[in-house]
Amino acid sequence: MNRNLKLIWNGLIPENPIFRLALSMCPAVAVTTSVENGLMLGLAVVFVQVFSSCTVSIFKSFIHPRIRIPAYVIVIALWVTVIDMILPVISPDVYKKVELFVKLIVVFAIIISRLELFASKEPLVPSFFDGMGMGFGFLFGLCLIGAIREFFGTGQLLGYDILGFNPLLIMVLPAGGFFVIGFIMATFNWFEYKITGKIPTSGGAH
Amino acid sequence: MKEIFKITVSLTAVCVVASLILGFVYAKTEHARKLNEEKTEQQTIQGLLGYGAGEKIPSDLKVYPVYRYVITSDKGKTLLGYVLPIKDNKVVLAEMDLSGNPLKIIPITVEPSALSDKAKRDNAVNAVLPKGSKSLYAQTVFVADMGGKRLGYVVPGVTQGFKSFIKLMVSLNPDFTVTGVAVTSAEEDPGLGAEIQKSFFRNQFVGKTIELLKKLKVVKEPLPPNYAAALDPAKAKAKGLTPEQVKEIKEKHLKDNIYALTGATISSRAMTNGVVSTVKKFVYRLDKLNEAIKKEQLSVAF
């Protein structure tokens, strides 16, 4: 497989930010009460991750290694603010929906960890695809959690009534987020154990 | 020593470049963003008055903004100043003291159309005030007339939400019964507090009279399913409720308290307090303003 495609695949499943790396768990629990919320936050993360990865990858030789973390934070904050300013001009309707999510992204662990682990060492093109992979992996994770929580918590999917009643209200409350993420993570680990025969090691949650 | 110098220069350079980019983007987008905000505000007001997206706005619907200023006079007294549109396309600044006694009526030389620009309006107000006085913009309320008759009022309000402020707009009919509530900006948690923007929550306020509002509380009870359906126009349609049935259900629940959102009692309370205090304050102020207008025999445009 082409390396770039591999990077995207890597972010989606083998190194999924939520289920395998266990990074950015706070937003993953907090906003995934419905598929739509997950989708909106996921899209915003894709943009910020790709832009930040590319910026850091281009300018990595100018950033002094001892101040790389503050410099990365500035880069992320810069892109978040730029999106926050441009989006209401381009498309006010979309902005109304993602407004709440865009501002949250500055402090996401997944973005700064990809800048530190990948973009600061690799050239532009792989960094771009790594950013895409991680962004879409995050989006996929949020949508999956959102779908499960929305379906069991409110009996709906994407806002459409399916069951017509609430089977398990706890799923839309914060506690439900922990349950769902725990179950999906366990499923991922179980599959990996079945395929490779090794007990998976875990990442560090943030 | 040499390294710390390098680090400082490097970090400063990063910050300067970032701020330059931000400044450039801000300058390029500011105007368009302001226009969009104004447009959204207009649409919100029209929506609250019953002319939402897609509906034709009648030509005899007129919305007059009334701007309230807090004025500190040169003697250090706090006064209120209302910028009022009067007949013949003129504008006056009506000063009154805090208990509502009218003091002075000062004509302002400015086109009514230029008033919506805050900077121009502030300048115009400051220009007619005596030296040493200061004015501070407080609020804009909108008075809507339809064909010479009063249609209602649209009043903005602010309330402390779960994390930051919730900005809302309440529309009232001439008897001060709530006809609509809109949330113009809020940063409540998505999926929990952000549900205050959903119509099934907002519409619970509709139809509440000023007497009902004064006693209004938030109850932690589940919203009755048929009431929930009646409150949400899309749901009512899906359930096949006729407009008469919707009206009947709403009337049955008219005296109910506000049903709190699941997992967002604080946001529900904040909204309720916000709506109630916005309406109460507005009714008090309008009463004083009408008295003053009568006393001074001002021929206001609305």
Q: What integer pLDDT is reported at residue B215 of this predicted model?
A: 86
Q: What integer pLDDT is reported at residue A174 of this predicted model?
A: 80
Residue B111: partners with Cβ closer than 8 Å, 6 or more residues away: B89
Classified as helix, coil or strand, B285 is helix
Structure-block tokens of residue A35: 């598929």
Helices (H), ranges, chain B? 2-48, 118-128, 199-202, 210-214, 225-231, 233-239, 243-252, 265-296
Distance from CA of B101 to the nearest CA of A (A): 43
Residue A201 has pLDDT above 80, yes or no: no
Q: What is the pLDDT of residues A52-69, one digit of tens each?
A: 999 999 988 888 888 888
List chain B domain ranges. 1-57, 61-147, 155-285
Which positions in chain A touch B21 (Cβ < 8 Å)? 78, 82
ipTM (interface predicted TM): 0.75
Judge: B190–A31 Cβ closer than 8 Å, yes or no.
yes
Residue A41 has pLDDT above 80, yes or no: yes
Share of chain B above pLDDT 90, in %: 14
Neighbours of B4 (CB within 10 A): 9
Is A31 part of the contact surface with chain B (CB cutoff 8 Å)?
yes
Q: What integer pLDDT is reported at residue A52 of this predicted model?
A: 92
Residue B20 has pLDDT above 90, yes or no: yes
Residue B10 has pLDDT above 60, yes or no: yes
Q: What integer pLDDT is reported at residue A51 of this predicted model?
A: 92
d(CA B254, CA B233): 17
A-B contacts (CB, under 8 Å): 75
Residues B165-190, mean pLDDT to the nearest whole number: 87
B18 closest CB neighbour out of A66, A78, A161: A78
d(CA B182, CA A50): 36
Half-sphere exposure of B136 (CA within 13 A, CB side): 7
Q: What integer pLDDT is reported at residue A1 of this predicted model?
A: 62
Structure-block tokens of residue B255: 């005296």
List chain A domain ranges. 3-196
Structure-block tokens of residue B269: 């309370």
Mean of pLDDT over chain B: 84
Is A88 part of the contact surface with chain B (CB cutoff 8 Å)?
yes
Q: What is the pLDDT of residues A93-149, one digit of tens each?
A: 777 777 777 877 888 888 888 888 888 888 888 999 999 999 999 999 999 998 998
Distance from CA of A12 to the nearest CA of B (A): 25
Question: Which range among A104-113, A176-185, B166-175 shows the weakest confidence by mean pLDDT?
Answer: A104-113
B15 closest CB neighbour out of A30, A74, A89: A74
Most A-contacting residue of B26, B29, B30, B183 (CB-CB within 10 A), to test interface: B29
Most B-contacting residue of A61, A74, A87 (CB-CB within 10 A), to test interface: A74
Q: What are phi and psi of A43, to 5 degrees?
A: -60, -45
Judge: A33–B15 Cβ closer than 8 Å, yes or no.
no
Higher-pLDDT residue of A194 and A168 is: A194
Which residue is it, tokens 């017509």? A164
Please answer whether residues B205 and B168 qualify as being in contact, where contact means their C-beta atoms are separated by less than 8 angstroms: no
Distance from CA of B150 to the nearest CA of A (A): 32
CA angle B49, B84, B110 (to 5 degrees): 115
d(CA B11, CA B18): 11
Q: What is the pLDDT of residues B103-141, one digit of tens each?
A: 778 888 777 677 777 778 888 888 888 777 888 888 888
Which positions in chain B touch A30 (Cβ < 8 Å)? 189-190
DSSP notation for B38-69? HHHHHHHHHHHTT--TTSPPPTTEEEEEEEEE
Please answer whether residues B278 and B172 qualify as being in contact, where contact means their C-beta atoms are separated by less than 8 angstroms: no
B7 closest CB neighbour out of A67, A77, A100: A67
d(CA B190, CA B220): 20
Share of chain B above pLDDT 70, in %: 98
Half-sphere exposure of B189 (CA within 13 A, CB side): 25
Which residue is it, tokens 């790709």? A50
Distance from CA of B271 to the nearest CA of A (A): 18
Q: What is the pTM of this model?
A: 0.71
Share of chain A above pLDDT 70, in %: 96
Q: What are phi and psi of B90, to 5 degrees?
A: -115, 165
Structure-block tokens of residue A111: 């973005």
Bridge partners of residue B104, in order along the sequence: B95
Residue A19 has pLDDT above 70, yes or no: yes
Half-sphere exposure of B6 (CA within 13 A, CB side): 10
Q: What is the pLDDT of residues B40-89, one digit of tens each?
A: 888 888 888 877 766 777 777 888 888 888 888 877 788 888 888 887 77
Q: Say how far residue B67 (Cα) sits from the centre of its chain.
A: 12
d(CA B216, CA A47): 45
Helices A35-59 and A92-102: crossing angle in degrees, nearest 10, is 80
Phi-psi region of B102 (alpha: psi -120 to 50; beta: other; left: phi over 0): beta
Most A-contacting residue of B20, B26, B33, B183 (CB-CB within 10 A), to test interface: B33
